[in-house]
Amino acid sequence: MRSHLALATLLAAALFLAAPLASGQAPLALQLVAHGLEIPVFATAPPGDLTRIFVLELYTGRVRLIKNGQLQAEPFLDLGGQIQPVGERGLLGMAFHPQYERNGSFFLFYNNVDGHTVLVRYQEDPNDPDRALPAGQLLLQIEQHFLEHNGGMIQFGPDGMLYLGSGDGGGPLDPLGNAQALDSLLGKVLRLDVDGGSPYAIPADNPFVGVAGARPEIWLLGLRNPWRLCVDPVSGALLVGDVGVSTMEEVTRVPADGGGANLGWRCMEANLCTGLSGCACSSAALVAPTYQYSHDEGCAVIGGFVYRGQDLPGYAGRYFLADWCSGFVRSMRIGHGPATTVVDHADQLVSGSGQPLVGLTSFGLDGRGELLLMSASGTLYRIVPAADCDGDGTPDAVELADGSAFDVDANGVPDACEPALHAAALALGETNLLTYLGAEPGQPVAFFGSISGLGAGPCFVGGAICLDILPFEQSAGIESVLLLGIVPADAQGAAYLPLPLPDSAPASFTEVALQAVAWAGAHGSTVSPPLLLPVTP
């Protein structure tokens, strides 16, 4: 099976140049969720929890809590004295029990103080849902002999079983041959029934149940370092992102009934033969990668999730992945063959400063199934539909980053898409500032004011330009408002007019109606929406 799928995978890779967004796929953007985390490596939430996100910090051993959008000072749980924080070791994975709301159980996967990877069950504090009880129940320990290749992902599937990704134990080329050894839990995906026994039960349909010398926990074998995997909640398929050695990165889809599949490491790295022993290179018994890319594009795949949320309907069923070194984020359709319609979102998913993302560590899911993305720098984002206020197909964030749009007030919205006239409440005895955004550089902007309120106002230039602020003076049948000043716009298209007000005013002087006109002739001028502002003493 591996040989013909490998050829199809190569053809798909050769055709990929960064496919355009398909109809219904909105451009994407990053929404800041939290910053100030210490090497966040995973984020999750109990099913249906709409107010909380739980974030793992690799080296501190803390499970941080974000509640109602605020990073809490006190962690949900602190394992700082119980982990070994070095290299790739630390706090690696977390999964809430599908019945967490009822039973309060969750699971953590980490390196203990001896460096071995352990799966431990913990409980929510019954007296405080924002805290966990500190003592846990050890379910599984896997001995580690090297500092790297721990794997780290744990996730429940729609079958209620817990899936665990375990690396080959380290050494760049799996010197102990763990990935192909059925008597070792290293280099595998395990499948456990955490409710059926103590400390766990073996599902009866696991592929190596009853096989002499084989560990019955094994679901898949032939993996190097499955840092992140996911179980599609709809199909039950496993998608495993396996970090390569020096040449290729790969993601492999295994259907829900595909237990026992061999993904080929250490004799295969993606679709390439390594020349190492352990299995027959390109054997039909090996499962070919569904998607792969070379180290010319990145260095370490960050497996993500099949999107099943609500906010990005055009992406339903698409799989997301990223790369640690290059910072790209890609989505694709993954079914029974090679990945199709691969889209690179690197030009959309950029940092707040407009720079490409680097040091991406993991995806996550919030309680609504929306995608989260985090970086080692300590920032957690949510992937959201990109704002495109002018409808030109280029996200606002991209236009602001490349300088084709301006954001003078730094609120993330291009000035050209905002109500053009800005001002705070006007204060007596102060010099107030009126701001017009979105003009052309050097364009004259006229500011008008009235104390009579909003309504049909006077017109100019033969009726081509009309104001929406009521006139307050009539003389010889001519309605008028006060011209406060004319100011040229600066290089960013912003015009500023200082407006001093006296220290005192009649009691009736409680509000001012304002409007501005960016002048470009009788038929090219732009009239701002009017503002009605209170006057404060």
* pLDDT tens column, 164-199: 999 999 988 999 999 999 999 999 999 999 999 999
Question: Distance between CA 302 and CA 325 in Å, rounded?
Answer: 10
Residues 39-54: tens digit of each pLDDT: 999 999 998 999 999 9
- Kindly state whether residue 338 falls inside one of the protein's structural domains: yes
Residues 102-129: tens digit of each pLDDT: 999 999 999 999 999 999 999 999 999 9
Res. 24: pLDDT tops 70: no
Kindly state whether residues 387 and 422 are assigned to the same domain.
Answer: no
Q: Give the DSSP letter string of 368-426.
A: T--EEEEETTS-EEEEEEPP-TT-SSS-HHHHHHHTSS--TT-SSS-GGGS-SEE---E
- Least confidently predicted of 218-222, 244-248, 250-254: 244-248
Question: How confident is residue 18, by pLDDT bands cut at 50, 70 and 90?
Answer: very low
What's the average model confidence in pLDDT over 431-459? 90
Q: Residue 179: phi, psi to the nearest 5?
A: -60, -30
Kindly state whether residues 490 and 460 are assigned to the same domain.
Answer: yes
Kindly state whether residues 118 and 155 are assigned to the same domain.
Answer: yes
Kindly state whether residues 419 and 391 are assigned to the same domain.
Answer: no
Res. 17: pLDDT tops 60: no
Question: How confident is residue 32, by pLDDT bands cut at 50, 70 and 90?
Answer: very high
- Least confidently predicted of 64-78, 260-274, 438-452: 438-452
pLDDT of the residue at 84: 96
- Kindly state whether residue 90 falls inside one of the protein's structural domains: yes
Which three-class secondary structure state does DSSP give residue 341?
strand
Question: Distance between CA 260 and CA 207 in Å, rounded?
Answer: 5
Kindly state whether residues 16 and 140 are assigned to the same domain.
Answer: yes
Kindly state whether residues 422 and 299 are assigned to the same domain.
Answer: no
Query: Could you tell me which residues are beta bridge partners of residue 380?
Result: 34, 374
Kindly state whether residues 388 and 501 are assigned to the same domain.
Answer: no
Q: Residue 399: phi, psi to the nearest 5?
A: -65, -40
Residue 324, domain CATH:
2.120.10.30
Kindly state whether residues 190 and 75 are assigned to the same domain.
Answer: yes
Q: Residue 348: phi, psi to the nearest 5?
A: -100, -40
Kindly state whether residues 113 and 205 are assigned to the same domain.
Answer: yes
Kindly state whether residues 450 and 363 are assigned to the same domain.
Answer: no
Res. 391: pLDDT tops 80: no
Instruction: Work out how many domains the chain is built from and give that number.
Output: 2
- Least confidently predicted of 21-30, 75-84, 181-190, 440-449: 21-30
Tell me how far apart the terminal alpha carbons of the chain are, to the nearest angstrom. 81
- Kindly state whether residue 105 falls inside one of the protein's structural domains: yes
Quote the Cα angle for 224-228-230, to 5°. 120
Kindly state whether residues 291 and 342 are assigned to the same domain.
Answer: yes
Q: Choose the final residue of a domain: 400, 428, 461.
A: 400
Question: Distance between CA 408 and CA 438 in Å, rounded?
Answer: 9
**Bigger pLDDT: 512 or 523?**
512
- Kindly state whether residue 408 falls inside one of the protein's structural domains: no
Give the amino acid at 373.
Answer: L
| pTM given for the model | 0.76
Q: Choose the final residue of a domain: 338, 366, 400.
A: 400
- Kindly state whether residue 171 falls inside one of the protein's structural domains: yes
Which contacts qualify for 94-99: CB closer than 8 Å, 24 or more apart? 94/42, 94/44, 94/54, 94/56, 94/63, 94/154, 95/44, 95/154, 95/155, 95/156, 95/162, 96/44, 96/45, 96/46, 96/47, 97/156, 97/194, 98/47, 98/156, 98/160
- Kindly state whether residue 96 falls inside one of the protein's structural domains: yes
Question: Distance between CA 255 and CA 252 in Å, rounded?
Answer: 10
255 cis-preceded (ω within 30 degrees of 0): no
Question: How confident is residue 21, by pLDDT bands cut at 50, 70 and 90?
Answer: low
- Kindly state whether residue 407 falls inside one of the protein's structural domains: no
Residue 451, domain CATH:
2.60.40.10
Res. 395: pLDDT tops 90: no
Kindly state whether residues 364 and 439 are assigned to the same domain.
Answer: no
pLDDT of the residue at 2: 52
- Kindly state whether residue 405 falls inside one of the protein's structural domains: no
pLDDT of the residue at 130: 98
Pairing of strands 531-536, 426-427: parallel
Q: What is the mean pLDDT of the chain?
A: 90
Cβ 513 vs Cβ 530: under 8 Å: yes
Question: Distance between CA 88 and CA 109 in Å, rounded?
Answer: 13
pLDDT of the residue at 357: 85
Res. 356: pLDDT tops 60: yes
pLDDT of the residue at 411: 67
H or E element in which residue 102 lies: helix 100-103
Domain holding 184, by residue range, is 2-400
Cβ 221 vs Cβ 211: under 8 Å: no
The rounded percent of the chain whose pLDDT value lies above 70 is 92
Tokens read off for 449: 């004011």
